[in-house]
Amino acid sequence: MKILLIEDEISTAEFIVDGLKKENFAVFHIPNGLDGLFEACNNYYDIFIIDVMLPDIDGITIIKKIREKNIQTPVIILSAKNSTEDIVSGLRAGSDDYISKPFSFIELLARIKGILRRMNLNFSTSTILSEGNLKIDCLKKKVFRDNKEIILQAKEFSLLEYLLKNKGIVVTKQMIIDNVWNFDFDPETNIVEAKISKLRNKIDKNFKNKLIHTIKGLGYILEDKF
Ligand code: CA
């Protein structure tokens, strides 16, 4: 797995490169926009990680130019501003995900793994996901527990599908918002909690072993603990 990192802040770059190397990624780092753009257009990478604020040309321009050349490599933007405008223009320019500085390495790794999973899913022929006696058919949008069908609303299904794709991993409320709802959603409301509660009533309430667990202060995990 080859990753190109375009980032001018050396300490941030070192932190990312060291972390990714430990996870067995091949990482190539370029500290300025123009050389980064040249590299992105002339060599194959699986993922680009691009900082927005660069000394010569900004990250958004780089993404636009890459997409103009019809290079469809997934892009994660690193944004120091943490502003919605930044994120919106990045996503409009063709980035696949964003991460606001400061961030933890675990968060970045989760984003990368999410992209890789989505890429693999595009090629995967299996559309059945399962955990314990819960089974969902992503294509037919059907849910079964103990071989009995459970009817979910569309958003409940998307939420369950996301939890199941990340089974055994804690997902934060923000990750759920980003992946199940649109990113411009107000994180202050309790819509995630409300939807989780509805989902629990449908898939967990009538069963002894619960699959959806709350991890206090962190988020949720779907796991058959028995
Ligand atoms: Ca920067």
* DSSP of the chain: -EEEEE-S-HHHHHHHHHHHHHTT-EEEEESSHHHHHHHHHHS--SEEEEES--SSS-HHHHHHHHHHTT----EEEEESS--HHHHHHHHHHT-SEEEESS--HHHHHHHHHHHHHHHHHHH----EEEETTEEEETTTTEEEETTEEE---HHHHHHHHHHHHTTTS-B-HHHHHHHHS-TTS-TTS-HHHHHHHHHHHHHTTTSSS--EEEETTTEEEE----
> Do 98 and 89 contact (CB within 8 A), yes or no?
no
Whole-number Å distance, alpha carbon 121 to ligand 1 midpoint, is: 32
Q: Which of 91, 47, 37 has its CA nearest to residue 69?
A: 37
Domain ranges of the chain: 2-118, 128-222
Whole-number Å distance, alpha carbon 3 to ligand 1 midpoint, is: 18
| Residue owning tokens 């997902």 | 171
Whole-number Å distance, alpha carbon 9 to ligand 1 midpoint, is: 6
Is the CATH code 1.10.10.10 the one for domain 128-222?
Answer: yes
Whole-number Å distance, alpha carbon 53 to ligand 1 midpoint, is: 4
Q: Average pLDDT by consecutive 10-residue portion of the chain (226 residues)?
A: 95 96 94 97 93 94 92 89 75 87 91 84 66 90 92 93 90 86 68 94 93 92 85
Whole-number Å distance, alpha carbon 74 to ligand 1 midpoint, is: 20
Whole-number Å distance, alpha carbon 88 to ligand 1 midpoint, is: 18
Whole-number Å distance, alpha carbon 85 to ligand 1 midpoint, is: 17
Is the CATH code 3.40.50.2300 the one for domain 2-118?
Answer: yes
| Residue 34 dihedral angles phi and psi, to the nearest 5° | -65, -45
Domains 2-118 and 128-222 are alike in CATH topology: no
> Do 174 and 182 contact (CB within 8 A), yes or no?
no
pLDDT score for 175: 86
pLDDT score for 26: 93
Whole-number Å distance, alpha carbon 90 to ligand 1 midpoint, is: 15
